[in-house]
Amino acid sequence: MCGILGYFRKNYAIDPNLGSTMLSMLQALGRRGPDSAGVAMVGPAHPAAYIVRLQAGDELEMSKQAIETNREAVQIFAGALDGASDLSCSGVYVRFVLAGDVDLPALTRALESLGQGIRVLSIGHAMELSKEVGTPNLLEAMHHISAFAGTHGIGHTRLCTESMVDLSHSQPFWGRGAADVAIVHNGHITNYHQLRRKYEQRGVGFVTENDSEVLAVYLAESLNRGETLRQGLDGVLRDMDGAFSCLAVTATEMGFVKDPYAFKPLVMAETDDFVAVATEEIAIRSAIPGDYKVSEAQVEEVRVWSR
């Protein structure tokens, strides 16, 4: 099952209703994925700084004391960094802003080495990623995503079919090592193990056993090579086997790729004001009033919208 969605505002620099629109879309898809819900949303940019979001542990797998120890370790580490500011904590999450040039892989490794269970969720100049085990309503209660103002974003409601139900395996997935990149995915990548072995032989690490993670790794490498999001999604269509629909965002773009079999549903609406993409039409109609056409994405279709 699973549900994926994306929303891209065309005609406003910052949309104060981005978060509330995406929450409504998530709630409409909640029955497709009761196991977890998450969003990656793009807000006001910090060109000279990075927004760092991470989890200090998983409440389903770790004691409160262990999570608290991890959270304190992250706070101490972040507080000692030159250029760090706006440090805040909420539940298992820690967020801070880091100014200056940053080696993203090195920073990620340093943070995750502070304690078992610490995972970097996202790093970017504008994108912030939030997810929770449970329903979209729980995601809202914990992170107040409806108050987020921004330009575009993607979301996911998960029904676990293979890998475990926990925070790390929930979506979206950050493209580790690349700023402002995230994906959501519905389907199966059947050559996942082959692709993962090739990455691991090159020293690329994985956080989960979820086949969706390989899409994030793939797009991060593509963008770090200087390719466009469109080129990266074309590559997904070329190199990934299986039945899938995938949505991706960067700081300035949103796009999707549809598999060669069109087994996984995906519909879209586009007007002069917005683009909305979702697994089901109800997610678009229930969140966005107006008179517009909703059409089905086609076999092997790749679309990208840029600001």
Residue 287, classed as helix, strand or coil, is coil
Centroid of chain to Cα 175: 8
51 within 8 A of 123, measured Cβ to Cβ: yes
Kindly list the catalytic residues.
Answer: 2
Amino acid at 20: S
143 within 8 A of 134, measured Cβ to Cβ: no
Query: Residue 150 has what DSSP assignment?
Result: B
Question: How far is residue 222's CA from residue 241's CA, in Å, rounded to a whole number?
Answer: 18
Query: Residue 264 has what DSSP assignment?
Result: S
58-83 b/e (C-beta count within 10 Å ≥ 16 → b): beeebeeebbebbbebbbebbeebee
136 within 8 A of 63, measured Cβ to Cβ: no
126 within 8 A of 18, measured Cβ to Cβ: no
Question: How far is residue 131's CA from residue 124's CA, in Å, rounded to a whole number?
Answer: 16
113 within 8 A of 31, measured Cβ to Cβ: no
Residue of 272, 274, 249 lying closest to 18 (CA atoms) = 274
113 within 8 A of 99, measured Cβ to Cβ: no
